[in-house]
Structure 1
Amino acid sequence: MAKSVFQFEAQDAQGAVVRTERLSRDKLLPAIKTIPATVVAMEACATAHYWARQIRDLGHEVRLLPPAYVKPFVQRNKTDARDAHAIAVAATRPDMPRVPVKSVAQQGARGLHTARDLLVGQRTQLINALRGHLAEFGLVGARGDAGAKAVIGFVEAGHPDIPRTLLAALRVLVRHWHEKVEAIAEIEAQIKAEAKADAVAQRLMTIPFVGPMIAHATRAAIGEGQQFDSARDYAAWLGLTPRTSASGQTRRTGRISKAGDQRLRRLYVLGATAALAKAKRHPDDMDPWLAELLKRRPARVAAVALAAKLARTVWAILTTGEAYDATRRRGQAGRLRPAAA
């Protein structure tokens, strides 16, 4: 699939190629309309969910395949025709994982997080540019929000050490920084409102350190979570489980894979980091599991381990339809209770 050109291949029940064609965008759906109801496979890449919904409405069964799992079926050099053939071959494998087709609402919700991440990155670029410029004239600010406000204050006040030839340009950067801050706040307010309006997201937010951002992003990314067979599968999809290399009697585990959804994984790690910071401020209330982990591992490693545990809890709450029980004994996993209780 591309923006304007699509490579099409049809196979019969025995796997023999019966048709191959290069189609333009406006001819794709008309061509598929002429085919009796069948299986249509595509890689789960950009615009795939849109086309999956369109083709599914024509009465076909749509299978979205992870691109990383299709790649081994590509023979020799990459071409569009060989890519299409690889997708067709991979789709016939009974053990081939499939990506659930996202709804319009899901993609819209995902888009909110994508837009927010873009704005956050631009905000960071702007404040770093201001810091770099002002440092050349001996004006520096501390790390964090307080330092950023101090740097912006230098520009807004027209500090005498800033050359007049540069001041106007820096004020443009400051103006854009304020615009990004306001835009981020607007999107975050929308995300929080949608999370509070969703009963499932509300149930997820009963889990400690799972706020509207994590709950909303999780719902947008995996829906009901039924595509995963276990909590560990979900944590592995997020890239929060260690890489494993095993041969014979030798088994080695390494760092986390960092596969899957990077934005969602980052939110879980941030939530776990906040939990860790609170636990350090109140050590008497620290979970024994976490306290023991901190004795053996650095804080950042413990945060990732806690993020993996948090993700497993989220999946359990999401798929069982039950609510998190905050009244639990120290050192035990959170018990589940019926949502109606």
Structure 2
Amino acid sequence: MPVQNPRQAPPQQQGQLKKGESRQGARLELDGLRRSFGAYNALDGIDLAIEPGEFIALLGPSGCGKSTALNCVAGLLPLTGGEIRLGGQRIDQLEPEKRGFGMVFQSYALFPHMSVRRNVGFGLAMQGIGGAEADKRITDALNLVRLGSQADKLPGQLSGGQQQRVAIARAVVIRPPVVLMDEPLSNLDAKLRLEMRAEIRGIHDQIGSTTIYVTHDQDEALSLADRIVVMSQGRIMQIGTPEDLYQRPVHVEVADFMGFRTRLAGRVLSVSGSEAEIEAAGARLTGTVREPLKPGDAAILSVRPEDLVAIEGGDGIQVTVNSMEYRGRAFFGMAHATDGSELYFRADHALLRGAAARLQPVAGRALLFKGQAA
């Protein structure tokens, strides 16, 4: 239920920690989160329960609400409605520093005039932790990210990947119950992104904190998360394991974001169990039904580029090749069907631009969703 005035909750509901109380290992609950900017609803009723120690990825295109959701959890944006609870205690009225969460920003946000050690220890100083306890925590955090030998350098003397590891060390040194990461790898090159994925997942497994990770990169989400939350237009479209999302998207928008780049509009000819045949792009095609369909219904067939292949002769979609590129083990191309549909496909050899070709989905790899009536 939306909260009429979240700032007016009684003190005992505001999640204030008693002395010596810990939230490590606590369940995080987002209940009906709403955030509006004037008439625009950036978050439109987000419900999500995150178990202690889970790695959750918020995945979606720009503007879908994933960073807004993260900033609301962090306390950087107030809610328009809804509640955030940690260990059963409501915390959405607390200031960011009182929530005790670790935050890793896209831009690293390091202090350029402070050494690596002082950057990592900044949060501890804000908590009033100093002396031997702070020294030990800082050393442990730097060793965790393999930067112990860089402690006395300035951030500007480090590589981008090293700076990001400093930011992670700063986030975890305070021993937070939740670590929030907002597209932390987007500024790194492809090789460093791959390396840092393994680093981030390894650190998560070692420290045991819950992690919420915002990304628009499906490969990052698939490789890092225990569960993925796909968002669109301020709402959750699907929640599931990486395998669930990759193999069994429940909505055409989720499929599109999980790599099913080709979308063909057609009409259902017949349905048999979990499969249906449709007519689309001038061809008869078979796919796995993901939403209820019956003969005569408008439908959309979705398929990944690697599962739509060029064939020699036979049935298939007649296309004209627009472009081809080599990716090591196969060629991938883009083509147009006679009805103007755009298709992305795989081929064993290069096809000339402007050449005619026939494409066929790999059996069992195309999905069918409800379409718009013509």
- Per the shorter chain, which TM-score range? under 0.3
Structure having the higher helix fraction is 1
Which one has more relative contact order, counting CA pairs under 8 Å at least 6 apart? 2
Q: When the two structures are superposed, what TM-score results if normalisation uses the length of structure 1?
A: 0.25
Structure having the higher strand fraction is 2
